[in-house]
Structure 1
Amino acid sequence: RKKSKKDPDAPKHPMSAFLYYLTSERPRLAEHLSDMSIGQQTKIIAKQWKIMDENDRAPWEKLAKHDKDRYARERREYQS
């Protein structure tokens, strides 16, 4: 099965709130968890994310919403 080529001008998909959290936390925790693989580090950060309440998640949820809105806007422009 051949993989279709992506259009380089197409808008990038939005990041989830968890991905925003992950990109902010991984560098901070990397020095403490440097002996672990990236996958193991991600599992630890994912556990932290799961136990967070809505108020703690709010900043990343807000970023994700803005990115989702950006993607919708760029997609409309791209398709027209």
Structure 2
Amino acid sequence: MPKESRASTKGAKGADTKRSKRGKKDPNAPKRGLSAYMFFSQAQRTNVQQENPDAAFGQIGKILGERWKSMSEDDKQPYKDKAEADKKRYEAEKAKF
């Protein structure tokens, strides 16, 4: 009896039973609010890329994460304020939707 390859049995084994039945997301739905870290990373990504031109995408993310962790709470506060404002915007848009 020939041994089947792992790839051929992987997809056939219960694939239909594990699929989610969730519908598609409405494209007009409001976008969720960004976190304080995401506002920080958007603001600092170009600086990190210029300082490390040969860094890969994942390495840039690691550098940004290290910088975020090393920041004081006072330095993080502007980004936290932006995140709170964005959260309020999302809640308002969600209520209208």
In structure 2, which of residues 15, 32, 48 is the aligned counterpart of residue 13 of structure 1? Answer: 32
Unaligned runs of 5+ in 1: none
Q: CA deviation at 1:74?
A: 0.5
Find the counterpart in structure 2 of residue 69 from structure 1.
88
Aligned partner letter, 1:74: E
Find the counterpart in structure 2 of residue 60 from structure 1.
79
Unaligned runs of 5+ in 2: 1-18
Equivalent residues, number: 78
Q: TM-score, normalised by structure 2?
A: 0.75
Query: How far, CA to CA, are the matches of 1:33 and 1:6 in structure 2?
Result: 37
Find the counterpart in structure 2 of residue 40 from structure 1.
59
Q: TM-score, normalised by structure 1?
A: 0.90
Aligned-residue CA RMSD in angstroms? 1.2
Query: How far, CA to CA, are the matches of 2:86 and 2:92 in structure 1?
Result: 10
Q: CA deviation at 1:49?
A: 0.4
SS in 1 for 2:68: helix
Query: How far, CA to CA, are the matches of 1:4 and 1:43 in structure 2?
Result: 35
Q: CA deviation at 1:29?
A: 1.6
